Homo-oligomer: A and B are copies of this chain.
Amino acid sequence: MSALQLAASTGISGNLGAVAYGLAAIGPGVGIGLVFGHSIEAMARQPEAMPIIRQNMFLGFALCEVLALLGLVVPFIFS
């Protein structure tokens, strides 16, 4: 028997880049939820401050989201 057959029979395949994105999406997923959740509660408390709240809400969303999208780019860097 050959080692080729041994390796072919391990049965696990795939690229670690996908796992890396999966891990990188955990944190921003919770973070975006926190940003929107607290923003909506702030809007209900002071509806007249909505322009400021919405502005900072999307700022926080963008700065959280960039961590997940970096996880999509990083596997190409370490290829």
Contact = CB atoms under 8 A, between A and B. Distances in A.
Interface of A: 1-47, 49-50, 52-54, 56-57, 59-61, 63-65, 67-68, 70-72, 74-75, 77-79
Given A18-B75, A32-B60, A44-B49, 15 more contacts: A12-B16, A19-B23, A20-B22, A21-B24, A23-B26, A25-B28, A25-B68, A30-B30, A31-B32, A36-B38, A38-B41, A39-B40, A44-B46, A44-B52, A56-B57
Nearest to A33: B31
Contacts of A46: 44-45, 47
Contacts of A3: 1, 3, 5-6
